[in-house]
Amino acid sequence: MAEETPPLPEDLEAVRSALIEWYETDHRTYPWRETDDPYAILVSEVMSQQTQLDRVVDAWNDFLERWPTVESLAAADRADVVSFWSDHSLGYNNRAKYLHEAATSVRDEYGGEFPTSPAGLEELMGVGPYTANAVASFAFNDGNAVVDTNVKRVLYRAFDVPDDDAAFGDVADELMPDGESRVWNNAIMELGGVACGKVPECDGAGCPWRELCHAYQTGDFTAPDVPTQPDFEGSRRQMRGRVISTLKEFEELSLDDLGPRVRVDYAPDGEYGREWLRGIVSDLADDGLVETDRREGKRFVQLRR
């Protein structure tokens, strides 16, 4: 481990299974997630390096319709592949050339069969370490932990990993369950894409790591690619909204019954505890949105109706 890397939670199995369960319960569906054909996966990886995933879907379908196998792509005229790339606004045309080149080498040097390991895949023309690892993971379940910008953001926020490539690599490797690179890499990348984006949606997306997450606990959601605090979830405005929507479901609630419904890490005497909640509630009362009442030593809150 890199020296400055903070320790991970002791029960790593629970941390892993919470994320995998979250991913398997609901995730964005992309057609390349439904296949283990290395060729189709390689095409999706090369396309998505420059283009947003939602826009890749049509291009990917069209590409595979035109060149359904690695042999058909290898036999294609390179100029046609490049024109396809420009016609679909897929970014640098060089990627089309590399893809064609990779297909040619699979056909000519590997008898039409893709290598299965990251190192083997990296031997293909134009396939860099990231793409090789992605194909090894998603096609052969034989990859290493992916460390891309999304994953770094998650690790930095959740486990307070310093902004250092060696530290990210160490923590990512330690977290990934052995022999499960396909589901794991998909799951952690999905977390970074859906829940832990630049503007995180910790509660909205039901992040399974809220209770252990360093950022969620401290309220500091900066990250290597988010140098200043995003304005959003976790902000006072957001918390006010959550208090109101919770109170809509109840006649009234005491502060300690309201707190955990507003933040999963509410603890009466903690940083996000009674004191903090009282501040938000009293602002809402000043704005005429809620009423509070003190009985039996407790403060109760209800919507002003």
Output 63 or 216, the one with its CB closest to ligand SF4: 216
Least distance between ligand SF4 and beta carbon 273 (Å):
18
Q: What's the CA gap between 289 and 102, in Å, rounded?
A: 63
Least distance between ligand SF4 and beta carbon 210 (Å):
4
Which is nearest to 118 in space by CA: 138, 139, 101, 135?
135
Output 147 or 301, the one with its CB closest to ligand SF4: 147
Binding residues for ligand SF4 (CB under 6 A): 154, 157-158, 195-196, 200, 202, 207, 209-210, 213, 215-216, 221
| Spatial contact of 125 and 163, defined as CB atoms under 8 Å apart | no
What are the residue numbers of the active site? 45
| Spatial contact of 209 and 40, defined as CB atoms under 8 Å apart | no
Least distance between ligand SF4 and beta carbon 289 (Å):
26
By DSSP bridging, strand 253-254 and strand 290-295 are unpaired
In the numeric block, which tokens belong to residue 33? Answer: 């997630």
Output 122 or 265, the one with its CB closest to ligand SF4: 265
Output 19 or 124, the one with its CB closest to ligand SF4: 19
Least distance between ligand SF4 and beta carbon 150 (Å):
10
Q: What's the CA gap between 105 and 70, in Å, rounded?
A: 10
Tokens 């089309």 appear where?
96
Which is nearest to 214 in space by CA: 161, 270, 152?
161
Least distance between ligand SF4 and beta carbon 66 (Å):
39
Tokens 């990934």 appear where?
176
In the numeric block, which tokens belong to residue 221? Answer: 């959601």
Output 118 or 197, the one with its CB closest to ligand SF4: 197
Give every strand in the sheet of 290-295, ordered side by side.
253-254, 298-303, 290-295
